[in-house]
Chain A
Amino acid sequence: MRIYLWTSLLAIVVMCVNFMYVRSNTPKIAVIDVYKLVNEFKMKKDLEEVYKLNSQVLIKKNDSLKNALQFAIVSNNQHQIQSLNQEIGQCEQELSMYSRNGSEEVSKKVWERLNPYIDSFGKKNKYKLLVGGNGMGSVLYCDDALDVTQEVLKFVNGQYEGGN
């Protein structure tokens, strides 16, 4: 009876050690929903707000110039009409460039900040591989247990708000 008990105990200990060994040697891999990560990253929202404000300033400037042009036309001031037309052209060009490049610039800036943050998240949590799923077919299925999007979001937003 005693031998039986000792053997069972030994078997349990061996199983536990084996389990821990296998677990520590299994590469830690996780998946991040990139779409969600980018859209819920606070810096993206802040930058979009700044871009929106800046474009509103340009729109208001353009409106003011157009109003001034109307007055110049009524008073038939040729010199002013010419210079205002030039200014309106420049302002509209600036505005169209701003709206064209704005989202591209935001995306570039967001990734420039996200990359080192994700890097330090991976290192801190000892991940061997972090896979980015973006809904384009790179990750077709992922178990919920492997999805660390919320954890990463919390980490990157904390880093952004507080600095390292």
Chain B
Amino acid sequence: MKVAIRILMCLCIGFSSCQRTLDKTTYIKYVQSDKSGLCKKVPDGDVEYLIQCKPIEYVLINEHLESKEEFETRRKELSGTIWFNIKIKSLKSEQSPLYLRSKNQSEYDYLNDYFLNKAVSQIELIYNGTMTLKPLAYQFENNYNLTPDVTMVVGFKLPNADLRSVEKLQVIYYDKVFNNTIIKASFNKQVLSDIPPVNII
């Protein structure tokens, strides 16, 4: 009887400590959900900043790679990097934030140029509370007023490729032109190590 109880207990502990491998759709939903802790919201006046942490598996799934070779090559390229979406969303208007802040074409062009070329220098990642990392890659997605938001996609090269060994990641965006504010979002060890494995292929 005692042996049976011990085996049962071991099985229970084993099952509870194992993370379930998710399929692609469930994984995408998990990363995008609020409960994962990978999406942070920062309200600031009439706009809201949404910072989403994207592990490389999330990026790979969204690239819809067809063959296993393509997938492996891309995985090697992205290995050791971490990606973030910084979305700026209008809260009280259906207009894109760029249109919201500009009165004429030249003001719009100025803001568009800021996001295309200059905003990247104002984004940094604090690794484990000590190391400041500058972006490895940056892209600005202008929605041309089709949706009330614009997105900056930014990537960083991490000193350690394993996300589970990271204590804390903090994204800081010193928005000196668009909204004149400071945006911070932290992702702690718990959140990063809770990211479940995914079956991509």
Contact = CB atoms under 8 A, between A and B. Distances in A.
Interface of A: 43, 46-47, 50, 54, 105, 109, 112-113, 116, 160-164
Contact of A105 (B40, B51, B180): B180
Contact of B182 (A50, A105, A164): A50
B184 A164 contact: no
B127 interface: no
A50 B184 contact: no
Interface of B: 40-45, 51, 170, 174, 176, 180-186, 188
A140 B174 CA distance: 39
B51 A46 contact: no
A164 B186 contact: no
B176 A161 contact: no
Contacts of B44: 109, 112-113
Contacts of A112: 44-45, 181
A42 B182 CA distance: 11
Contact of A160 (B51, B180, B184): B184
A47 B183 CA distance: 11
Given A109-B44, A161-B184, A163-B185, 13 more contacts: A43-B182, A47-B182, A50-B174, A50-B176, A50-B182, A109-B180, A112-B44, A113-B44, A116-B43, A162-B170, A162-B186, A163-B41, A164-B41
Chain A interface, >50% SS class: helix
Nearest to A117: B43
Contacts of B42: 113, 163-164
Contacts of A116: 43
7 smallest CB-CB distances across A and B, nearest first, come from A163-B40, A163-B185, A162-B186, A112-B45, A164-B41, A116-B43, A46-B182
Contacts of A54: 176
B32 to A, nearest CB: 15
B181 A109 contact: yes
A47 B182 CA distance: 7
B114 to A, nearest CB: 16
Nearest to A109: B181
Contacts of A50: 174, 176, 182
Given A50-B174, A105-B180, A109-B180, A162 B43 contact: no
Nearest to A108: B45
A160 to B, nearest CB: 6
Contacts of B182: 43, 46-47, 50
A112 B44 CA distance: 6
A109 B15 CA distance: 49
Contacts of B40: 162-164
Nearest to A49: B182
Contact of A161 (B170, B174, B181): B170
Contacts of B51: 163
